[in-house]
Chain A
Amino acid sequence: MIREAKKGSAAAQKCLFDLLSDKMMLVCRRYVKTDEDSEEILLDGFYQFFKNLSSFNYHGEASVYAWLKKIMINECLMFLRSRHSFIIATEQQSEEIPLPDDALNKLSASEILNLVIELPVGYRTVFNLHVIEGFAHKEIARMLNIAEGTSKSQLNKAKLLLQKNLIKNGNDYARQQSK
């Protein structure tokens, strides 16, 4: 399929889009608040993907997914920069905060995604990059052009806020379940 898509086959490209668009949409929605912006970023990302597919070396299905995900994350970061909503003030590093243990179990995926989306843009971006994508603070600092300590402090604040919201939503959920 990748070979055909490289040749410019529209059918192969559509198959790839159908296969990967849901996962990529989830990536975009984690970084951007509104669905409209997420869709625009998704389109830009797939456009870049198909445009540069000829230079891609196929090393299995995972490599396609990883490459496309990287493209999507870059598009999201570019979008945030272009909207001037991506200013993170330099802050002192604070102590690492653990997330609540049982809160995730109480909520659905959509509710957890909504909690992440509701975070301020700086917290949300650092949280996504570190907790979900698995980037180190050094890499995040380089990607966002911020200090490493700032990245850590942003992550801790994100976790604090998430903890607070998770407990609140978890208790609500528990109350609903008990009723």
Chain B
Amino acid sequence: MQDNSPNNWKILLEDPQRFQGEILSDKNELWERIYHRLHKKPQRKVLVWYWTAACLLIVTIITVVVFISKGKTHNRVVSEPAIVKTFMPVETGNLSNANENNGENVMSQSTPKNHTAGTIQKNNLPALKKSINTKYIIDSTMNQLPQLVITPITPTTTANDSSAVSSITIAPSSKKKLRVVHLNEIGQPVEEPTVNNRFAEKHGLAWRIINGENYNPVYGSSTNNGLILTKPRSTSN
């Protein structure tokens, strides 16, 4: 009786001599394939990785540079004062008057109505005035800029009190954020007046006489020098 243990199966199936050379058809061909796989140079693969890495590095550097430059620009714009189209400096001693008259353009949107500081004296305001004078705000876009909130000052508080100044806080506006524009970017470019124009502005009358624009000598009229300068009448009338 045949022993049918697993070892018997193993001997039967693992002995190549039992299969009488019918296992591998062409050993040499198989060896050639293995040899080519083993000894081929993966140069192209290395080159591809090299170029991929180089491209990634360049893209990363460009991105970092762009972000850094953007960040610098943003910081510079924020640190610069806001822009002025019309500005009226605070000169009055009374802070309430300043708010009502001069500061309207500046802080009319944000100044509370109940803001009164009657006892603040003129001489005690330099710090506050200075801080306001250095702020330039476009009044046309006032409602879209960060609002300047001034907390009410009690009547006993004086302007040289540091708390009065420190009580001015800028609250971030919840509205749409507008682009901060530099002063030089506003309005049309102003042309430099020529020498003739400057002279004409300064000595308008004499210049017009020299040019003979409105020089109409009228004899018989009662003037000291005998010259009457009148507007030229239109002939149609």
A157 at the interface (CB under 8 A from B): no
How many Å from the CB of A132 to the closest CB on chain B?
Answer: 5
Q: Which residue of A lies closest to B39 (CB)?
A: A10
**B14→A23 contact, CB < 8 A:** yes
Q: Which residues of chain B have C-beta atoms less than 8 A from A165's C-beta?
A: none
Q: Number of contact residues on B: which range applies?
A: 20 to 34
Given A26-B19, A47-B38, the answer on whether A116 and B13 have CB atoms closer than 8 Å is yes
Q: Is B178 an interface residue (CB 8 A)?
A: no
Please name the residue on chain B nearest to A47 by beta carbon.
B37
Please, which residues of chain B bring their CB within 8 A of the CB of A110?
18-19, 22
- In the complex, number of A-B residue pairs with CB atoms less than 8 Å apart: 87
Taking the closest CB of chain A, its distance from the CB of B54, in whole angstroms, is 28
Docked complex Cα distance between A17 and B27 (Å): 9
B6 near A22 with CB under 8 A, answer no
Interface string of B2-46 (1 = CB under 8 A from A): 101010111011111011001111010011011101110000000
Contacts of A25 on B, CB cut-off 8 Å?
23-24
A17 CB → nearest B CB, Å: 5
| In the complex, chain B residues whose CB is within 8 Å of the CB of A174 | none
B1 within 8 A of A: yes
Residues of A within 8 A of B27 (CB): 17-18, 21
Chain B residue with Cβ nearest A23: B16
Interface residue range, chain A: 35 or more
Residues of B within 8 A of A51 (CB): 38
A57 lies within 8 A of chain B by Cβ: no
Interface string of B86-124 (1 = CB under 8 A from A): 000000000000000000000000000000000000000
Please determine whether A109 and B30 come into contact, CB atoms closer than 8 angstroms: no
Q: How far is the CB of A173 from chain B (nearest CB, A)?
A: 14
CB nearest neighbor in B for A113: B13
Looking at A75-83, A88-96, A99-107, the stretch in contact with chain B turns out to be: A99-107
Least CB separation from B2: chain A residue: A105
Q: How far is the CB of A66 from chain B (nearest CB, A)?
A: 12
Shortest distance from the beta carbon of B12 to any chain A beta carbon, whole Å: 5
Interface residues of A (CB under 8 A from B): 10, 13-14, 17-18, 21-23, 25-27, 29-30, 35, 39, 42-43, 46-47, 50-51, 98-105, 108-110, 112-113, 116, 130-132, 134
Known pairs A50-B34, A109-B15; list 12 more (Cβ under 8 Å): A13-B35, A13-B38, A22-B24, A26-B13, A26-B19, A30-B13, A39-B24, A43-B33, A47-B37, A104-B9, A131-B6, A132-B13
